[in-house]
Homo-oligomer: A and B are copies of this chain.
């Protein structure tokens, strides 16, 4: 598998091991990871640290050019907030582990000229399906439901 999606999955697994929601993400520029993260709702009591947001945060302040040349990998289709961050910074390409358990704002991303690739990766689907079965309330909270 793509090494960057593998890194995002490792982030998701780390989140799960911490008692959190298993969604991970990496931000890649020039074939190098410049930020990696995972959902930290439980770990930090944070409503804004979705996996993608955590990857942006951990990448720190980057130039507009860096963002535009970057690719973001995420194990799950990005919600409105994470899609908004991707749009704000004009990240050119989004690689998504799966959108089977949750379909985020992919249409909005595409409408802004951002290319979107969905892998429907079995490992990503299993991570989410097992998690949603075991902690449905936590999952609903994470998507504002």
Contact = CB atoms under 8 A, between A and B. Distances in A.
Contacts of A62: 47
Contacts of A79: 84, 88
Contacts of A141: 61, 63-64
Contacts of A48: 48, 53, 56-57, 85
A83 interface: yes
Given A67-B144, A81-B81, A144-B67, A61 B88 contact: no
A85 B89 contact: no
A90 interface: yes
B89 A144 contact: yes
Contacts of A64: 140-141, 144-145
Interface residues of A, number: 33
Interface string A85-98: 10111100000000
Contact of A41 (B47, B61, B84): B61
A116 interface: no
Contacts of A53: 48
Interface string A102-124: 00010010000000000000000
In order of increasing CB-CB distance, the 7 nearest A-B pairs are: A84-B84, A80-B87, A80-B84, A81-B84, A81-B85, A89-B144, A81-B88
